[in-house]
Every structure is written in C-alpha cells, then in structure tokens.
Amino acid sequence: MVLDLDIPVRVVSAPTLRESDGLALSSRNRYLSPRDRQRAAMLYGMLAEIASGLRQDTGGMAGLLERGRKRLAEAGFAVDYLEVRDAQTLAPLSSGPASDMRLLAAVRLGSTRLIDNVGV
C-alpha cells in the first residue's frame, strides 16, 4: 500500500514476540480458557511445520495447507483462513516456492480469535 499510494513513510518489520511455547503475544490471549491456552500453542507449531514443508517443496502447497486446516480443526480450532501469500503484495499464491512468501492464519478457540503469520 505504501508503494502503491506513494506514501512517504518507511515500513520497518520486526519479529513477532512470542510466549515460550510459540504463541504470539496478544492481549487477546487472556480470554483463552486454561485448556484453550494450552491448545493455542499448536497454531504456531502448525505454521512452522507448513512453512518448513513449503521451503522444502514437499507435498505441494495445496496439500500442506489442507492437512494443516484439517489438523487444526481436529484439535478444536475453527479456521477462518490458512493461506500462503506473496510477502510484498499479499497476492494469493497457488504454487511454490516463490522467493518471498508469508503464511497467514486466523483461527478461533472458543470466542477468542487468534492471528499469526510466519515467513517462508
């Protein structure tokens, strides 16, 4: 957006701050029940696993994403989205590996919506 609209700002990225079990730090985490808080760490683990598969180009993008969605759903997550996008444009990608990809996810555990992303 900054490039498209020629906005005179510099975007600086930073790593996501995480709990010791990998869950992204968020004020929303306090709304998780103790049981859901334990399960919530699975989200980052799944993202890391899929990202590794994408880097190694194992199983194909669609298959990796579908297995990830299925495993999250089986663990009690309601998956809003789990997608791979171009890291610069956020355009959808249907095959990989691309040079700069981002794996994006939004899920719900109970009434809490969790979002996370990892570089690929």
pLDDT in tens, 10-33: 988 899 999 999 999 999 999 999
Query: What predicted TM-score, i.e. pTM, was given to this entire model?
Result: 0.87
pLDDT, residue 18, reads 96
Least confident of 13-22, 32-41, 88-97: 88-97
DSSP the chain: -TTTTT-S------PPPB-TTSPBP-GGGGGS-HHHHHHHHHHHHHHHHHHHHHHHT-S-HHHHHHHHHHHHHHTT-EEEEEEEEETTT--B-SS---SSEEEEEEEEETTEEEEEEEE-
